[in-house]
Homo-oligomer: A and B are copies of this chain.
Amino acid sequence: MAKELVFGHQSPDTDAIVAAKAYSYLQNQLGFDTEAVALGNPNEETQFVLNYFDEPMPRIIEKAGSEVDAVMLVDHNEAQQSVSDIKDLTVTHVVDHHRIANFETSMPLNYRAEPVGCTSTILTKMFDENKVEIPVQLAGLMLSAIISDTLLLKSPTTTDDDKVAVKALAEIADIDYETYGLEELKAGTNLASKTEAELIEQDAKSFEMGGKQIRIDQINTVDLDEVFARQDKLEAAMAADAKAQGYDLFLVLVTNILNSDSRMLVWGEPKDVVEKAFNTTLTNNTASLPGVVSRKKQVVPPLQSAF
């Protein structure tokens, strides 16, 4: 069987990196020849997680076609979030927990999606279904991915399946997940050391809605004011990135992980559609979004509807 690469989305978060490692491990146990790779550098949270469990970061690639003909996607399916030459490759497997859009194949494939909080939750079930044991370190990584995606099981994307998976993985990894989880989330909020260009890019994803190119980033913090003290420079970085990449609209969702509130920063047009989507009025390009912590569940769908 020809080798395949397994990877998550660009601007990888912890789940994108971990799910690629976990799915590659599972598929290799089942007889496939795969390698987990990544489409970008790890963020500080992911770096903390990999260090904590003493696991290597996958090799970073930009294109896959020079190495393989076929690939497996985790934690994404939309072409603009994937490897740059995705249109030239055959996608044989997908494991994901997002909506399906801008995804097309010419052949039947394996596709497993469930509306749960994290890809690693689905993978935890798939290890069980295939009767493959999860190694201790990998269980720690998968636990960390679920903590990251669900903000320690507090995000509205959290399902019972995520809770069950967290308990099972914490047992295998022998971790007190609540203490560890807060430490992990805080590791991702060390923002002072980052440039504005890094902050608006580190967890950004692209979407196409109503013919417009839209970029949505999320920044986790323990202090919203600390981030908005840098608003002018953040807006300049958003404008520069948007011009370079051709984005019409750029949203940055800044989320306080301690109390689950967010404030949004908006660059570009159409701003009236953003105001309609969130039933709010922008003041100095910002708006408070109390209780909004999930891009996937609380930002993309209302924006999609408004467009």
Contact = CB atoms under 8 A, between A and B. Distances in A.
Interface residues of A, number: 26
A97 interface: yes
A63 interface: no
Contacts of A115: 107-110
Nearest to A116: B108
A111 interface: yes
User: Most B CB atoms within 10 A — which of A101, A103, A106, A109?
Assistant: A106
Nearest to A102: B104
B108 A296 contact: yes
Contact of A97 (B108, B112, B297, B304): B108
A276 to B, nearest CB: 16
Q: Is the interface of A mostly helix, strand, loop or mixed?
A: loop
Interface in A81-138: 97-115, 129
A297 B108 CA distance: 8
A300 interface: yes
How many chain copies does the complex carry? Answer: 2
A296 B300 CA distance: 34
Contacts of A281: none
A92 to B, nearest CB: 8
A304 B112 CA distance: 24
Contacts of A296: 108
Interface in A221-238: none
A107 B98 CA distance: 7
A305 interface: yes
A246 interface: no
B100 A300 contact: no
A270 interface: no
A268 to B, nearest CB: 21
Interface string A281-307: 000000000000000110011001100
A120 to B, nearest CB: 15
B112 A101 contact: no
Contacts of A99: 104-109
Given A101-B104, A110-B115, A111-B111, 6 more contacts: A98-B108, A100-B111, A106-B300, A109-B113, A111-B112, A112-B112
List 8 tightest A-B contacts by C-beta distance, closest first: A108-B115, A111-B113, A106-B304, A101-B104, A99-B105, A106-B301, A111-B111, A100-B105
